[in-house]
Amino acid sequence: MTTITRYESGPRMSQAVVHGDTIYLAGQVGPTGETVAEQTASALAEVDRLLALTGSDKSRLLSATIWLADVNDFAEMNSVWDQWVDKTNPPARATGEAKLAAPKYKVEIIITAAKA
């Protein structure tokens, strides 16, 4: 039987769940009131922290789903993403526009990764 381990769990969700050698992260957002670039950088810093907590890193990304409140912010988000992503091991990725949980959020990043 494969073990499921949950990290930073609350009554509604966990920030990370590990099932076997696969890591699933909850959607990460940056602090409100910041630009798309700043929110992206903050969200990716949290991705780095959670991956380290679960025994992985960005070189082990399997997939990324990125939601933007406004698809016109695609280039601004990518300016940060392109500096952060492991260019040797980029994940499968999808980006779309969606109404996020609150208007103050401009970007949300959801990651699936493999354990190191």
Q: Give the residues of the chain that fall short of pLDDT 50.
A: none
pLDDT of residue 33: 80
* HSE of 62, CA atoms in CB hemisphere, 13 A: 12
Strand-pairing partners, residue 89, are none
The amino acid occupying position 16 is A
Strand-pairing partners, residue 114, are 22
Containing H/E element for 51? helix 36-53
**Predicted TM-score of the model (pTM):** 0.95
In the block, tokens 């909850």 appear at: 26
pLDDT of residue 89: 98
